[in-house]
Amino acid sequence: MSVNNDPIPVTILSGSLGAGKTTTLNHLLGSERDLNAAVLVNDMGEVNIDAEFVERESALTQNDEEIIELSNGCICCRLRGDMLDEVGRLAAERDFDYLLVESSGISEPIPVAQTFARGFEDAEFDPTGVYELDTMVSVVDAHSFWQGFDSGQALTDDTVDPEDNRVPEEALMDQIEFCDVLLLNKCDLVPEDELEKIEAVLKTLQPWAKLIRTEHGAVAPEEILNTGRFDFNRASQSAGWKRELQEGHHHDAAAEEHGVTSFVFDADRPFHPDRVAELFADLPDGVVRAKGFFWSAGREDIAMGLDKAGQSVRAGPKGTWIATLPKAQQQRYFAARPGIKADWDDKWGDRGVQLVFIGREFDQEPLVERLNDCLLTDAEMDEDWGTYPDPFGSDEQRELALADD
Ligand X SMILES: Nc1nc2c(ncn2[C@@H]2O[C@H](COP(=O)(O)OP(=O)(O)OP(=O)(O)O)[C@@H](O)[C@H]2O)c(=O)[nH]1
Q: Which position among 14, 22, 115, 206 is part of the footprint of ligand X (CB under 6 A)?
A: 22
If one asks whether residue 213 binds ligand X (CB under 6 A), the answer comes out as no
Residue placing its CB nearer to ligand X in the complex, 171 or 358: 171
**Region binding ligand X by CB under 6 A among candidate stretches 92-100, 215-223, 236-244, 290-298:** 215-223
Q: Which is nearer to ligand X, 104 or 238 (CB)?
A: 104
Rounded to whole angstroms, the Cα distance separating 211 from 142 reads: 12
9 lines the binding site for ligand X (CB under 6 A): no
Please name which of 184, 155, 181 lies closest in space to residue 168, comparing C-alpha atoms. 155
Q: Which of 103, 115, 135, 185 binds ligand X (CB under 6 A)?
A: 185
Residue 105 touches ligand X, criterion: CB under 6 A: yes
Angle, helix 240-247 to helix 192-205, in steps of 10 degrees:
50
Out of 17, 176, 309, 374, which residue is the one contacting ligand X (CB under 6 A)? 17
Burial class of residue 290, CB neighbours in 10 A (0-12, 13-18, 19+): buried
Sheet holding 353-360, edge to edge: 260-267, 353-360, 287-294, 303-309, 312-319, 399-401
Is 48 among the residues that bind ligand X (CB under 6 A)? Answer: yes
Note whether 297 and 271 are within 8 A (CB).
yes
Q: Does 70 bind ligand X (CB under 6 A)?
A: no
Print the binding letters for residues 337-376 with ligand X: x by CB under 6 A, - otherwise: ----------------------------------------
Chosen residue from 8, 14, 21, 160 binding ligand X by CB under 6 A: 21
Q: Which of 188, 196, 256, 369 binds ligand X (CB under 6 A)?
A: 188
Q: Which is nearer to ligand X, 47 or 340 (CB)?
A: 47
**Residue in 8, 14, 15, 84 binding ligand X, rule: CB under 6 A:** 15
By CB under 6 A, is residue 69 in contact with ligand X? no
Nearest CB to ligand X, comparing residues 172 and 260: 172
Candidates 8, 12, 19, 106: give the one binding ligand X (CB under 6 A): 19
Residue of the chain from 58, 62, 157, 189 that contacts ligand X (CB under 6 A): 189
Q: Which is nearer to ligand X, 27 or 229 (CB)?
A: 27
In angstroms, what is the minimal distance from the CB of 55 to ligand X? 7
Q: Compute φ and ψ for 278, nearest 5 degrees.
A: -65, -40
Instruction: Please tell me whether residue 215 binds ligand X under the rule CB under 6 A.
Output: yes
How many Å apart are CA 75 and CA 274, to the nearest integer? 38
Decide: is 151 part of the binding site for ligand X (CB under 6 A): no
Q: Which of these ranges, 47-55, 81-89, 235-243, 274-282, lies near ligand X under the rule CB under 6 A?
A: 47-55
The per-residue b/e assignment along 30-55, b for 16 or more CB within 10 angstroms, e otherwise, is beeeebebbbbbbbbeeeeeeebeeb
Q: Which is nearer to ligand X, 216 or 242 (CB)?
A: 216
Which is nearer to ligand X, 14 or 262 (by Cβ)? 14
217 binds ligand X (CB under 6 A): yes
Q: Phi-psi category of 130—alpha, beta or left, where left has phi over 0 and alpha has psi -120 to 50?
A: alpha
296-325 binders of ligand X (CB under 6 A): none
As measured in angstroms, the least distance from the Cβ of 44 to ligand X is 9
What are the residues facing 292 on neighbouring strands? Answer: 306, 355
Is 18 an interacting residue with respect to ligand X (CB under 6 A)? yes
Which residue in 78, 94, 216, 370 binds ligand X (CB under 6 A)? 216
Q: Which stretch binds ligand X (CB under 6 A): 10-18, 64-72, 221-229, 353-361?
A: 10-18
20 binds ligand X (CB under 6 A): yes
Crossing angle of the two packed helices 109-118 and 168-177, in degrees rounded to 10: 50
What is the binding site for ligand X (CB under 6 A)? 15, 17-23, 43, 47-48, 52, 105, 185-186, 188-189, 215-217
